[in-house]
């Protein structure tokens, strides 16, 4: 695919589709490529965390600091793969895996109570007290058969969240 300023070929589009499990249409990939090139200010072929922050929707997201760790230095294929988890075509497991990566802030394959609590703090801000957050999280863990001292692996996380009806989608505008 070369530099970000080059044109996408049909082969490139199909390669990205295959890399991303065919979750994006060819039109979506072309639109994402245009967005990627727009974000890649210096045409380096990857997007930095600072460039991601130039997207207002991203910079206003309460989890943006956690997401920045995941997106810093993405090339185009990885950019599309990252966004694929938010596709309407993504499976529930793919969406849960993305959420797990957000919670697993130290990338050790385990989500601890403190990790879950921190995401709840990020999402709720000052709208609920620390005590209320802890109560909600303790109740959720108890219902799932875990305690405050437990940690969740990806498989555990999938079991816990797999029963929820996740609505984690972003529509890719077709230019």
Q: Within this chain, do residues 60 and 115 fall inside the same structural domain, yes or no?
A: no
pLDDT attached to residue 40: 93
The pLDDT-based confidence of 4 (bands split at 50, 70, 90) is very low
Mean pLDDT of 124-141: 87
Q: Which of 84, 112, 140 is the last residue of a domain?
A: 84
DSSP for residue 7: P
**How many domains in the chain?**
2
Q: Within this chain, do residues 41 and 16 fall inside the same structural domain, yes or no?
A: yes
The CATH number given to whatever domain includes residue 48 is 1.10.238.10
Q: Within this chain, do residues 55 and 114 fall inside the same structural domain, yes or no?
A: no
82-110 tens-digit pLDDT:
888 888 888 888 888 888 888 887 889 99
Cα distances (angstroms) measured from residue 147 to each of 11, 94, 134, 141: 50, 25, 12, 6
Q: Within this chain, do residues 51 and 98 fall inside the same structural domain, yes or no?
A: no
Across all residues in the chain, what is the average pLDDT?
Answer: 83
For residue 104, give its domain range.
92-161
pLDDT attached to residue 95: 81
């Amino acid at each position: 695919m070369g530099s970000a300023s080059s044109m996408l070929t049909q082969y490139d589009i199909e390669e990205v589709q295959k890399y991303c499990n065919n979750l994006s249409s060819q039109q979506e990939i072309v639109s994402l490529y245009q967005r990627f090139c727009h974000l890649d200010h210096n045409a380096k072929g990857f997007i930095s965390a600072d460039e991601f922050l130039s997207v207002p929707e991203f910079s206003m997201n309460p989890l943006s600091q956690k997401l920045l760790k995941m997106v810093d230095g993405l090339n185009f294929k990885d950019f599309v793969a990252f966004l694929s988890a938010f596709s309407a075509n993504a499976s529930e497991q793919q969406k849960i895996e993305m959420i797990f990566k957000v919670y697993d802030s130290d990338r050790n394959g385990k989500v601890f109570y403190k990790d879950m609590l921190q995401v709840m703090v990020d999402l709720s801000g000052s709208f609920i007290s620390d005590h209320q957050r802890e109560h909600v999280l303790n109740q959720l863990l108890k219902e799932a058969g875990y305690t405050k001292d437990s940690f969740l692996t990806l498989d555990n996380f999938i079991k816990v969240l797999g029963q929820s009806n996740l609505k984690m989608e972003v529509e890719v505008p077709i230019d």
